[in-house]
Amino acid sequence: MIKKDMAKEKPSIPKGTRDFLPIEISRRNYVFNIIREVYQLYGFKPIETPAMENITTLMGKYGEEGDRLIFKILNSGDFLSGLPDELLDSKKSSKIGLRICEKALRYDLTVPFARYIVQHQHKLSFPFRRYQIQPVWRADRPQKGRYREFFQCDADIIGSDSMLNEVELITIINDVFSKLGIDVVVKINNRKILAGIVEKIGHADKFNQITNIFDKLEKIGIDKVNEELAETGIENKVIDSLQPLFYMDAAYEQKVEYLNKILRSSEPGMEGLEEIFEIFEMLKRINIDCEVDLDISLARGLNYYTGTIIEVKAKNVDIGSICGGGRYDDLASLFGMDGMSGVGISFGADRIYDVIKEKDLFPENIETFTQLLIVNFGPKEQNYCLSISKELRESGISCEIYPDHSKIKKQMQYADKNNIPFVLMIGEEEMRTGNLSLKCMKSGKQTTLKKSAIAGYISGNC
């Protein structure tokens, strides 16, 4: 009944994607659950958007490189019909691609969210706070810690320009990482400060180019940064004047003082500085555990940010940013809705997973799935076990009856391999007396119990 012809090659999955084993799902859910729990405590509400968006929703929002990395979905049916012969003959893949694909996989959760709030604005009340935990897809070159399918865990508040939102997002970051036991530093900056600096040095036209170089400071070092700045045509004198910005191990107060001086006559610059000041003033009122730094070299690649930008790094782990975000004033206007300032963060669940694994911080109990295996001695015992398993499950005990009448040794090995802490053995003798034999796999200890006492015993010892 089944076609076997095309199979038999060794099965595999597309590069950059992953299968997850139960233990991996369990660990990943541990991360998701903590993030979700904190989001909910702050009043964020869950939404979801489809994996596929109209290709026009996504194209042009992530820069040229981004456009190339978007996975496009081939139109169903006769996708070539209606395509002009000249175009087909030209063999221009990128042009033809846009004609034969109307849909694409989402590249992040922020642009779909902007599309969502415009589309559903009349069903929402603003300021609207949503969280969204879903996979995204990018045709990036796969490498360690970088996948083509990965999860983002976003929270955004849209429709409010209060810096209180920034403060709450920073406390969320603090709460999540303190629950996960990861020591982090939160770096913040403001794109308006960067705009002010670029304006003051007379190179406002090179904003993206210059801030991208700033952004590489930690990676390539100060000398290389200065070199690259020179290559863009900035005069050496000006580069010299920027140096204090790069050497700022100084305290927050000194940085603000310095910026106050150099940005004095820049309107965006002073506005950005005022916002940063407001955030730090509020943060002082509440004690948070993690370090929050003003970092002028922080620029963040995505060009929809217009104000605050945030990036989080784990201390003593070399894995890059594990959470990031910022404020965007114009994102919803891309879809026709003006005056909607938003600010959001996104936890990189995959990297956080890697940090927790490297630091061995996963709790032990998440590796147990089934609490009890009931050994299967044969058809008669199996019937007896069926009603016992029913009662145990009603008491909340997760249990399995071994489905086949295999040798006991094989069944015990199964319990062992599956990390099942207890095994219940019910043979003829046990069925007759009602004294059931429960073995703890870890200690090897065997206990005799009445049926009604099993659930309590396991709950107390699991």
Contacts of 327 (CB under 8 A, 6+ apart): 161, 166, 305, 306, 307, 308, 309, 341, 342, 343
From 178, 209, 212, 382, residue interacting with a copy of itself (rule: CB under 8 A): 382
Which member of 99, 183, 204, 207 binds a copy of itself (CB under 8 A)? 207
Where in 290-309 is the site for a copy of itself (CB under 8 A)? Answer: 303-304, 306
- Output 51 or 239, the one with its CB closest to a copy of itself: 51
Side-chain-side CA neighbours of 238 within 13 Å: the count stands at 16
Site for a copy of itself in 209-248 (CB under 8 A): none
**Residue from 30, 73, 228, 321 that binds a copy of itself (CB under 8 A)?**
73
Write out the two tokens for 15: 């590069």
Contact code string over 334-363 relative to a copy of itself, x by CB under 8 A = xxx---------------------------
Q: Is 381 in the site for a copy of itself (CB under 8 A)?
A: no
H or E stretch including 346?
strand 342-348
Tell which one of 30, 96, 271, 354 touches a copy of itself (CB under 8 A): 96
Span interacting with a copy of itself, options 116-124, 263-271, 310-318, 423-431, rule CB under 8 A: 116-124
- 31, 34, 66, 72: residue in contact with a copy of itself (rule CB under 8 A): 72
Q: Which of 84, 86, 122, 123 binds a copy of itself (CB under 8 A)?
A: 123
Q: Is 89 exposed, middle or buried (0-12, 13-18, 19+ CB in 10 A)?
A: exposed
β-bridge partners, 347? 153, 323
CA atoms within 13 A on the CB side of 47: 23
Nearer to a copy of itself by C-beta: 119 or 244?
Answer: 119
When asked if residue 40 is in the footprint of a copy of itself (CB under 8 A), the reply is: yes
Please state the closest distance from residue 226 (CB atom) to a copy of itself, in A: 25
Beta partners for 311?
A: 187, 324
Q: Is 267 in the site for a copy of itself (CB under 8 A)?
A: no
Cβ closest to a copy of itself, residue 74 vs residue 230: 74
Written as six digits, the tokens of 87 are 């175009």
Sign (positive or negative) of CA dihedral 130, 134, 138, 142: positive
CB atoms within 10 A of CB 173: 25
Q: For residue 277, state whether it binds a copy of itself (rule: CB under 8 A).
A: no
State the DSSP string of 121-164: GGG--SSEEEEEEEEEE--PPPBTTB-SEEEEEEEEEES---HH
According to CB under 8 A, which residues from 396 to 435 bind a copy of itself? 396-404, 413-414, 417-418
Closest approach of a copy of itself to the CB of residue 244, in Å: 26
Would you count residue 142 as binding a copy of itself (CB under 8 A)?
A: no
What is the token pair recorded at 144?
Answer: 């360690």
Closest CB 91 distance from a copy of itself, rounded Å? 5
The distance of closest approach from Cβ of residue 78 to a copy of itself in the complex, given in angstroms and rounded to an integer, is 5
Q: How does DSSP classify residue 62?
A: S
Cα–Cα distance measured from residue 323 to residue 325, given in angstroms and rounded to the nearest whole number = 7
Helices (H), 181-206: 191-200
- Return d(Cα 352, Cα 51) in angstroms, integer: 23
- Pick 96 or 270: Cβ nearer a copy of itself: 96
Q: Is 369 an interacting residue with respect to a copy of itself (CB under 8 A)?
A: yes
Binding part of the chain for a copy of itself, among 115-123, 347-355, 429-437, 445-453 by CB under 8 A, reads 115-123
Is 5 one of the binding residues for a copy of itself (CB under 8 A)? yes
Query: What region, left, alpha or beta, does residue 7 occupy, with left being phi > 0 and alpha being psi -120 to 50 degrees?
Result: beta
Residue whose C-alpha is closest to residue 180's, from 349, 62, 45, 321: 349
The CB-of-435 to a copy of itself minimum distance in angstroms stands at 21
Look at residues 393, 221, 186 and name the one whose alpha carbon lies nearest to residue 293.
186
Phi, psi of 2, rounded to the nearest 5 degrees:
-115, 145
Residue 164 engages a copy of itself in binding (rule: CB under 8 A): yes
Q: How far is the CB of 16 from a copy of itself (least distance, A)?
A: 9
As measured in angstroms, the least distance from the Cβ of 35 to a copy of itself is 14
